[in-house]
Structure 1
Amino acid sequence: MTTPLPRPKRKKKGEGGGSGTLRADREKAGLTGSHDIHALPPENGELLELDPETISPNPMNMRLELRDMDSMIADVGERGVHTPGIVMHTKVFMECYPQWASRVKHPDRTFILGPGHRRHAAALATGRIMPAVLRDDIARDRRVEEELVSENNSRAGLSPIEQALAIDLLRQRVHEDEDRTLSFDEVVERAGYTAGTVSKYLALLKLPDDVQQAIHVGDLSMRAGYSLSLLKDADGKKESPEAHALQLRGWELMRDEKLSVEAAKNRVTLEGQQQFHAGKSSATTLAVPEPREESTTQAGEDQAPSGETPKPVTVPSKGGETAPGETTAAPTAVAVIETTDDSAPTASPAPTVDPEVLRKAAADQRDLACRLLLAEERYAKGAESNARLVTMVLNPNEWKQAAAKAHGWLVELKKGPSSKKRPTDYFAAVAASEDSGLMQRAAFAIGLAADEVRAAQPDRAWDARDVAHVQFLATSRASYQLSEWEQQQVELLSRGKQ
């Protein structure tokens, strides 16, 4: 609001010359000669017209860059600055915020900005006057942080990282009446967000710098960034170098392979659990993700996971037909590693590894992929789920072993009645629960387990059903990567069908 300049008071006739107090005010202010009343020090709340060169940017402004400036500069150049900014005397600001004094860009300038940095930049670029309201009171009351956050909330164009930095600035704010920083609840109240939103914004600032940059420029959404921030190291820490490496790897998988954040996190877990190298696996162990809260989307719903790109797989088949009891997914999967005599190193041949060791290592990795998949809310499309149910019905002799494995998976993931220790009792309780989502998940788990038990059996050659099983894991949210041994089985079967 514009506050008019105070009108000078004048003495009544007969009280000393009729010049009022104007002369005394001028003399008190040290003004002589041709200076007029407008040279008096401005009052708090007064609307000023300032040369933008007399205003310094505020070091507490958390904008990483001033975006969309071309249109603003053109508009200001044509019509001037429409909305006044807020300024404080630089000296007052530095006295009230000594911790920021060394970061003031132009400490010699008379004023320092509160909100209004894009308008100030446009005024500088065009040489226009910058209208501003003097508000030394917000510095004295130590409310600059709140003014900046409030301004940010009301304006579009800030990235999630800039919003997070503004909230973090408010979190460090000193209470106006006590010598302490604001509590979390006070930050939530003054930021104007919910507690959950504040927590998610602050979590973004704990991500690696490269991931924060991706969020800032819009290559990664805030939701996906927050999900990556939940990746922990083996000790349960989110901010250690090891955890940051996992979070960065998750972003790289999303960027390079176009995976959804859920699939990328599953891939990171799989890679950390076991790295295939001559049949040996690393000792690093990561826990299966904690079960998420049930979403409004029904599990098993025929809905493609967002952000995932199917990987091409070739499923061996004869004459385009599928044998009874076998299932095939969409033609997608698995690049086969082909070796030639020229590519093999001649100096030091690779040691021979027992194929059963390789089979067992692959089965352990697939078992983890199955658990990761069942931890998801949208674990399979309807067609994929139905295909496994059909296979299970057509092969009832597989039910007992499959139910035992599925029971172990679901109890570990805290899905269903954990008090039921026997698979038959567990699935009977699920069937009587009238929870359609749980029943669908349990039925799918049995079908998935039947495929996995079969693929893991020793001393048997793989067939098209086994290939369809690993193909499904590779193109699902588990984002499974075939081991060299599994790729060899695919290749052998493919050659046998030719």
Structure 2
Amino acid sequence: MASAAAASAGWDDEEPLEDREARAPGTRPATGSIEFARVRPNQLADDPRNPPRRLDDLDDLANVAEYGLFQPILVTTRQNFLKNNPARAEAIGDAPYVILAGHRRKAAAVRYGLAEVPVHIRHDLSANGGDAIVRLLENLSRKALDPIMEALEYQRLRDENGLKVREIADRLHIPSHSVVSKRLQLLGLPTALQEAVADYHLGVTDAEALSKLADGELQMHAWELMSEGRMPVGQAIAEVHRRRLHRAAAETKQRRGTHDPLDSPRNTADTEARASEREAAQNSGAGRFSSCERLAAQRASAEDVTQVIAQYAIRGASYHRDAVRLAHRWLRKAGIGPVGLTDPTAYLAAVEPADVVHVAFVIAVAADEARMRDPRRSWDGRDVAHLRRLEAAGHQTTEWERWRAAEAGGA
């Protein structure tokens, strides 16, 4: 029995630290799935999926030479490992066990000449990505991964184990699935930027902001502005968008082949840029309008409803008339409320009690949209929050919207 094996080995039968960390959904030990043993270090193969890192800095484990390992190494059997990883048979050699957590402990055992090491064998972790989850939990807890390596691990869980972003976050006890999503976005950056993130020359938050730019050329341009001009990321992104709009205006002017000699080149470019910006704002507004229609047709969570309505009650009154008009259009299209009433005031008066909260929520969303469309004002944090809400509902942000959000400090 496991307890007898533990007693004879002279170490505690208690569940090791890495398994307590791994009590995420799908990794809880099943009855009869745990086994304790003592094995030779050469019977343990390193998990070939474990991110490469230096194992020569083992001074903190020097006491194993005298006292042995206090904590067992977490392993699974070769057979279990190969069930989901048949292509890695050559990588693990003939070893009967594969390490899931404890690569440094094994390296220390080899360095300091231990004949045997305690292992904790889990037979239940080969399915549904459980072995990968445990390995990643240990690396995250030890801060052994740079942000790009972390992103690659999430990508592997998604692609090889079929886990969705929300499932990855849940099983790793990450508070928000957006953390996983943002890490994955880093893998779309140009190689040079990924290397800068991995070397901690480019902060993760700044890199995530750059990843929202339309393509690698713009991302590199913004990074150059940040590096050479020491610009904050929001200012660099806004400057990239501004230069692109001016370039588009100049190209439009050249295609038309017209020139007013009374216009200076700068005035001409500014005029064309303003025209391009107006067109971009109109196109962006049309896209947001469709997203708002979709949002009006859905029932939001109680938390979102409370937050949006409270925000509207405090700050939204100045756009109430436009908000009611927009909300009325969206709700009628969604078939919510007394859809036969074409007058917004009459519509609101006839709303059934069951729909009142949702209608209020849609009016609050419409107030934010009306406010965002006002050309007399600059965007602020409230506009950025409205844009993020629409993104969550499926809206694809335009370059112009990302530029305005960057100017507002919401890159």
Structure 1 length-normalised TM: 0.44
Aligned pair partner of 1:263 in 235, 240, 244: 235
Give me the whole-angstrom Cα distance separating, in 2, the residues matched to 1:51 and 1:202. Answer: 38
Give me the whole-angstrom Cα distance separating, in 2, the residues matched to 1:266 and 1:132. Answer: 55
Indicate the SS of the match to 1:81: coil
Name 1:135's counterpart in structure 2. 122
Name 2:72's counterpart in structure 1. 84
Quickly say closer, same or farther: Cα 1:361–1:255, change in 2 above 3 A. same
Q: Is the 8 A contact 1:167 1:198 kept in 2?
A: yes
Give me the whole-angstrom Cα distance separating, in 2, the residues matched to 1:263 and 1:120. Answer: 48
Aligned pair partner of 2:36 in 25, 29, 47: 47
Alignment of 1:340-419 (within 5 A): 356-364=263-271, 417=319
Indicate the SS of the match to 2:70: coil
Q: Is the 8 A contact 1:69 1:122 kept in 2?
A: no
Structure 2 length-normalised TM: 0.52
Q: Is the 8 A contact 1:253 1:264 kept in 2?
A: yes
Name 2:3's counterpart in structure 1. 3
Indicate the SS of the match to 2:104: helix
- Does residue 199 (structure 1) correspond to residue 181 (structure 2)? The answer is yes
Alignment of 1:195-234 (within 5 A): 195-232=177-214
Name 2:250's counterpart in structure 1. 281
Quickly say closer, same or farther: Cα 1:360–1:121, change in 2 above 3 A. farther
Quickly say closer, same or farther: Cα 1:57–1:249, change in 2 above 3 A. farther
Indicate the SS of the match to 1:281: helix
Aligned pair partner of 1:58 in 47, 54, 62: 47
Q: Counterpart amino acid of 1:257?
A: G
Instruction: Measure how far apart 1:215 and its partner are.
Output: 1.7
Q: Is the 8 A contact 2:245 2:273 kept in 1?
A: no
Q: Counterpart amino acid of 2:167?
A: E
Indicate the SS of the match to 1:69: coil
Aligned pair partner of 1:113 in 88, 92, 99: 99
Q: For structure 2, which runs of at least 5 residues remain unmatched after alignment? A: 8-31, 254-259, 279-317, 323-367, 379-405
Q: Counterpart amino acid of 1:170?
A: L
Name 1:95's counterpart in structure 2. 83
Aligned pair partner of 2:147 in 160, 164, 180: 160
Name 2:133's counterpart in structure 1. 146
Give me the whole-angstrom Cα distance separating, in 2, the residues matched to 1:140 and 1:443. Answer: 58
Superposed CA deviations along residues 395-433 of structure 1, whole A, max 9, x for unmatched, are xxxxxxxxxxxxxxxxxxxxx85987xxxxxxxxxxxxx
Name 1:248's counterpart in structure 2. 220
Q: Counterpart amino acid of 1:202?
A: L
Instruction: Measure how far apart 1:265 and its partner are.
Output: 1.2
Q: Is the 8 A contact 1:66 1:118 kept in 2?
A: no
Q: Which moved more, 1:248-257 or 1:358-367?
A: 358-367
Q: Which moved more, 1:201-210 or 1:359-368?
A: 359-368
Give me the whole-angstrom Cα distance separating, in 1, the residues matched to 2:272 and 2:57. Answer: 52
Name 2:109's counterpart in structure 1. 123
CA RMSD of aligned residues (A): 4.5
Quickly say closer, same or farther: Cα 1:123–1:368, change in 2 above 3 A. farther
Q: Counterpart amino acid of 1:88?
A: T
Q: Is the 8 A contact 1:96 1:140 kept in 2?
A: yes
Q: For structure 1, which runs of at least 5 residues remain unmatched after alignment? A: 8-42, 175-180, 233-242, 285-352, 372-415, 421-434, 446-475, 479-498
Quickly say closer, same or farther: Cα 1:212–1:67, change in 2 above 3 A. farther
Give me the whole-angstrom Cα distance separating, in 2, the residues matched to 1:138 and 1:217. Answer: 33
Quickly say closer, same or farther: Cα 1:281–1:150, change in 2 above 3 A. same
**Percent pairwise identity:** 26
Q: Is the 8 A contact 2:101 2:138 kept in 1?
A: yes
Give me the whole-angstrom Cα distance separating, in 2, the residues matched to 1:165 and 1:101. Answer: 22
Instruction: Measure how far apart 1:163 and its partner are.
Output: 2.4
Name 2:364's counterpart in structure 1. none
Give me the whole-angstrom Cα distance separating, in 1, the residues matched to 2:109 and 2:70. Answer: 11
Quickly say closer, same or farther: Cα 1:86–1:355, change in 2 above 3 A. farther
Q: Counterpart amino acid of 1:210?
A: A
Indicate the SS of the match to 1:205: helix
Instruction: Measure how far apart 1:75 and its partner are.
Output: 5.0
Give me the whole-angstrom Cα distance separating, in 1, the residues matched to 2:139 and 2:275. Answer: 44
Aligned pair partner of 1:189 in 156, 170, 178: 170
Q: Counterpart amino acid of 1:281?
A: A
Give me the whole-angstrom Cα distance separating, in 1, the residues matched to 2:55 and 2:5. Answer: 36
Give me the whole-angstrom Cα distance separating, in 2, the residues matched to 1:221 and 1:107. Answer: 39
Q: What is the number of residues matched between the two proteins?
A: 266
Give me the whole-angstrom Cα distance separating, in 1, the residues matched to 2:47 and 2:151. Answer: 18
Quickly say closer, same or farther: Cα 1:71–1:362, change in 2 above 3 A. farther
Q: Is the 8 A contact 1:188 1:198 kept in 2?
A: yes
Give me the whole-angstrom Cα distance separating, in 2, the residues matched to 1:267 and 1:212. Answer: 22
Quickly say closer, same or farther: Cα 1:265–1:364, change in 2 above 3 A. farther
Instruction: Measure how far apart 1:365 and its partner are.
Output: 8.4
Alignment of 1:18-33 (within 5 A): none
Superposed CA deviations along residues 447-495 of structure 1, whole A, max 9, x for unmatched, are xxxxxxxxxxxxxxxxxxxxxxxxxxxxx969xxxxxxxxxxxxxxxxx
Instruction: Measure how far apart 1:51 and its partner are.
Output: 3.2
Give me the whole-angstrom Cα distance separating, in 2, the residues matched to 1:118 and 1:270. Answer: 50
Which structure has more helix as a fraction of its residues? 2
Superposed CA deviations along residues 318-356 of structure 1, whole A, max 9, x for unmatched, are xxxxxxxxxxxxxxxxxxxxxxxxxxxxxxxxxxx9683
Q: Counterpart amino acid of 1:136?
A: H
Instruction: Measure how far apart 1:44 and its partner are.
Output: 5.9
Q: Counterpart amino acid of 1:172?
A: D
Superposed CA deviations along residues 166-212 of structure 1, whole A, max 9, x for unmatched, are 222222354xxxxxx23444333223222222211221222222222
Q: Is the 8 A contact 1:90 1:107 kept in 2?
A: no
